[in-house]
Amino acid sequence: MPESIIADPDTDDHVEERISSCLNINSPRSFFLYAGAGSGKTRSLVNAVRYILDNHSRELMLRGQSIAVITYTNAAADEVARRLDYNRLVSVSTIHSFAWALIRPFQDDIRNQLGIRLAKFVQDLEAKSSRPGTKAEATRLYNLEKTKKRIDLLDSIVQFTYSPTGTSRGSDSLDHAEVIALTASMLETYPRLSRILTTRYPFLFVDESQDTNSDLLNSFLTVQKQSQGAFCLGLFGDTMQRVYNDGKQNLEGSLGDEWDKPAKRMNHRSAHRIVRLANSIRSQVDAHAQLARPDRPIGSVRLFLMPTSMDTVTAETHVLESMARVTKDDSWISSMGGLVDSASGVKKLILEHHMAASRLGFGEFFNALGELDSNRTSVLEGTHPEVNRFTRDIIPLIEAARSDDDYALVAILRAQSPLLSPDSVREVSDREHALSQYLAGIRSTISDLLALWEDDQDPKLLAVASLIQDAGLFVLPDAVVRALAFLEASDGDAEDDSQPWVRILKCSYSQAVSYARYVGGQTEYATQQGVKGLEFPRVMAIISDDEARGFLFSYEKLFGAKSSTDADRRNEAQGKETSLDRTRRLFYVTCTRAISSLAVVAFTSDPVAVATYVSGQDWFAEDEVEVLDPASI
């Protein structure tokens, strides 16, 4: 197996100078920085902004302009803003927040474009009917009725709203996807909006540009083409790290000759062995091989292969213990079965959220959440407003009470409970001796809540929500109140497919807690797609097509256990993307999250065939592959 190429850590310093040459406010040039895993992409972005501030702050202030930076997550936005000392000449936001801030003043244009979008959705729904009586047909009819009602209400809406946290739920609210789609169409349709964009922001930097919604990115590219010499669009990313389907394919190839295209080659993150593996994975895609730092350790990678029928807990426990022996690093086993500290534990990367749900014990709750009539993304990201009443208010309150944290308990009640709102307290205080009795009643309600856990009970959410509703401790969402009334009328036994909260409330409280910890990033599990841009000392990549139950990715094909289909071959011949292409990129992203050591755990239909295939791909050496026999563990 070839050795990794080692180079001076400062080998990419010239890239910063090259980008700076594009940042003259009077004659800016657009650029795409090709920056692979661990190459310091964010550092280059911050340095570019600092260069502009150092050289053009006065011009920006006189013109009433600023620099726009679009990041992929709120956490990334916060980090960039912090590194720039929260400079008021720099607007750092997520793509959704940026898009909404741009179009929000144009309410009539939003109404017109949304009307066109909804009418097209109705047309599509009416064109494809399913068999009567099926769930698919019921869903189609429901969506058709809901969309028509929304069209009828359009003219009555005075002000459209959007909440990045997903808390807007009225008929006037827009969801994430709609804000992006509306911004893209309005930039293409209304020239004045593109002029506002370039006048307000002569520099627009887009991080993770390869995963930015392709329609919106295309509209930015249109604006750039129309405003050359007056507007700089700076794209930062790596096409090999595109993991979302709505990202733009062939981004680098779609940029004209007027673009500068510098590239960073140094991987500052990973050990030599991980860099070599990453280079081998992407060698079939492009020539962007990375260099390893001389001060990084050799590192360790291992591939563990086992049949799909093998018990996941047994297999993954064996892997943790084996990695601890191979790496002589007890941190591989120190956090088994508990929460993870990214600085000291093992991060386990899965393909789908339900794989974490089954391992962490909230599968029933997660499946029930999947029935909620809303953007599924809000459930996966933990931003669903109805669910948030439990995850952000009720669960923290109960956990504070159970741990005798009176300070946190009172803080939650004051912030969220109508019982301790200023008006309620003021009203009670006006009556003699009433306040002490009132507060005693609240304490009694908390005691009743805690009693649900006596004798190590794990109460149903139904019991928790019923007590809270009766006491008025929190204002529960209407859907939850309706489900409570239905269950009370049926003695808690009946089902109702039209009310997903009926199923949710029948789940145990502990499942809701596990879900809240997972979406809050407090467990050892995360999806392979969701950790793009992050890094961990120890990574376990868990691969199982059977568990993932998807069709967009196929590790069985990537690892040689299954052959490409006729559709794959047709798509490849036509230059279209295949599941093999998507999976290879995802595998690259997954492996390059590791700093020091990496364990790839593959549940496969043919472990022996995979072992033979990967050795021929120069991914893993023979002594780095272990085929597990369930009978021997």
Structure token digits, residue 360: 């962490």
For residue 521, give the amino acid letter. Answer: G
580 in Cβ contact with 557 (< 8 Å): yes
Residue 5 confidence (pLDDT)? 75
Asked if the model's pLDDT at residue 454 lies above 80, the reply is yes
- The CA distance from 585 to 281, in Å, is 8
* pLDDT tens for each residue of 413-430: 888 898 888 888 888 777
Share of the chain above pLDDT 70, in %: 94
Residue 563 confidence (pLDDT)? 86
319 in Cβ contact with 599 (< 8 Å): yes
Residue bearing tokens 């190459």: 39
Structure token digits, residue 200: 């307000």
Asked if the model's pLDDT at residue 2 lies above 50, the reply is no
Of 537, 484, 492, residue with least CA distance to 343: 537
User: How many residues in the chain?
Assistant: 633
Cβ burial of 560 (10 Å; 0-12, 13-18, 19+) is middle
The mean pLDDT of 56-78, rounded to a whole number, is 93
- The CA distance from 491 to 256, in Å, is 67
Contacts of 152 (CB under 8 A, 6+ apart): none
Residue 1 confidence (pLDDT)? 42
Asked if the model's pLDDT at residue 375 lies above 70, the reply is no
Residue 494 confidence (pLDDT)? 62
Of 303, 261, 263, residue with least CA distance to 281: 303
Return the exposure string of 500-534: e unless at least 16 CB atoms fall within 10 Å of the residue's CB, then b: bbbbbbbbbbebbbbbbbbbeeebbbbbbbbbbbe
DSSP symbols for 255-289: S-TTSB--EE-EE-SS-HHHHHHHHHHHTTT-S--
Residue bearing tokens 């005798």: 404
200, 559, 602, 607, 620 from 615: Cα distances, Å: 54, 10, 15, 12, 6
* pLDDT tens for each residue of 571-590: 888 878 888 999 999 999 99
Give the model's confidence band at 343: pLDDT under 50 very low, under 70 low, under 90 confident, else very high.
low
Structure token digits, residue 334: 């120190």
* pLDDT tens for each residue of 296-316: 999 999 999 999 999 999 999
Phi/psi class of residue 366: alpha, beta or left (left: φ > 0; alpha: ψ in -120 to 50)? alpha
Residue 26 confidence (pLDDT)? 94
The SS3 of residue 475 is: coil
Q: In this predicted model, which residue has the larger pLDDT, 169 or 450? A: 450
Lowest mean per-residue pLDDT among 83-97, 103-117, 375-389, 606-620 = 375-389
Residue 339 confidence (pLDDT)? 47
The mean pLDDT of 440-445, rounded to a whole number, is 89
Q: In this predicted model, which residue has the larger pLDDT, 565 or 189? A: 189
Lowest mean per-residue pLDDT among 125-139, 145-159, 414-428, 603-617 = 125-139
Give the model's confidence band at 291: pLDDT under 50 very low, under 70 low, under 90 confident, else very high.
very high
Structure token digits, residue 469: 């509703």
pTM of the model: 0.86
